[in-house]
Amino acid sequence: DTPAQSLPELGYAFICGLEAYRDDPDFELFDLILCGAVHPSIMQDANNMLRELQSLILRCQGSTAVAAALDRSHGSRQSTASVGMHQVSRRMIRAVLRTIFPEKKGARHNALRRALAETMQHFADLGKSADPDTVYISDLFSSSADGEQCKLIEEIRRQHYYEVIEFTKDLTTRLREGSDYSGIFQASKFKRVYHDLDPSVKQPDLDRMYEIAFAHHEGEGAYYA
């Protein structure tokens, strides 16, 4: 086949592949990026979130030294290997999830509980733990050669992507509601609107977002479409 003939076939196969694996968070994320629904930087954001989750689980298990090493190395292979001998219980994981995600909707926490149950059963079936109610932390956060992770981690990632989309949509709606009839709003309202939507945001982070959003602003009294 000539390149001109092969290109449509490649495109068709690509779309079929995305549809077939649409439930995989990596394919789902790629689709969202292609559609412009999220920025590619969300991948790094998700990795940071998972590293914080792993560190918190280690600290709750009393493995503060390993958690500190993980934080310093940003999840490098060497530090991840040192996590291998530490186990965590189902009860501890559920408590950590409730603590680190206090604002998740009930339906999403239920989805996490189901994913956790499937994950624990999967590792028990593989004989990776003598106790079906415990799992090695290294197994929990491991990835296969093709990037596949356990059901729990994939569900956490998937929820994160859509929560970012929902938050952005809510922020856009509130900014529009705060604008006048012609769609113009005052720059000074941005921080207040954002803080109302996310009360836990840190002031330095909010100031940085304001600087990015209004890099060429003419003062907080300026108006923007």
Buried b (16+ CB within 10 A) or exposed e, 98-108: eeebeebeeeb
pTM over 0.85: no
Reported residue count of the chain is: 225
CA dist., res. 77 & res. 60, Å (int): 22
208 vs 205: CA distance, rounded Å = 5
Q: Show contacts of 190-197: CB within 8 Å, 24+ apart.
A: 190/214, 197/167, 197/170, 197/171
Rounded CA-CA distance 30/32 in Å is 5
The two structure tokens encoding residue 178: 């705060």
Classified as helix, coil or strand, 187 is coil
103 contacts: CB under 8 Å, gap ≥ 6 = none
pLDDT at 3: 67
Where would I find the H helices in the chain? 3-20, 25-34, 42-60, 64-73, 77-81, 90-100, 106-125, 137-140, 151-177, 189-197, 203-213
Residue 125 to residue 213: CA distance in whole angstroms: 50
> pLDDT tens track of the chain, all 225 residues?
566 677 888 888 877 876 777 667 777 777 788 888 788 888 889 899 999 999 889 888 775 545 555 555 555 544 445 555 688 899 999 999 999 998 899 999 999 999 999 999 999 999 988 788 999 998 999 988 877 899 999 999 999 988 988 998 898 888 888 777 777 777 778 888 899 999 888 999 998 888 887 776 555 555 555
Q: Is the dihedral of CA 14, 19, 24, 28 positive or negative?
A: positive
Pairwise CA distance, residues 117 & 146, whole Å: 23
- Rounded CA separation 10/6 (Å): 6
> What does the pLDDT look like over 162-209, one tens digit per residue?
898 899 889 888 888 877 777 777 777 888 889 999 988 899 999 888
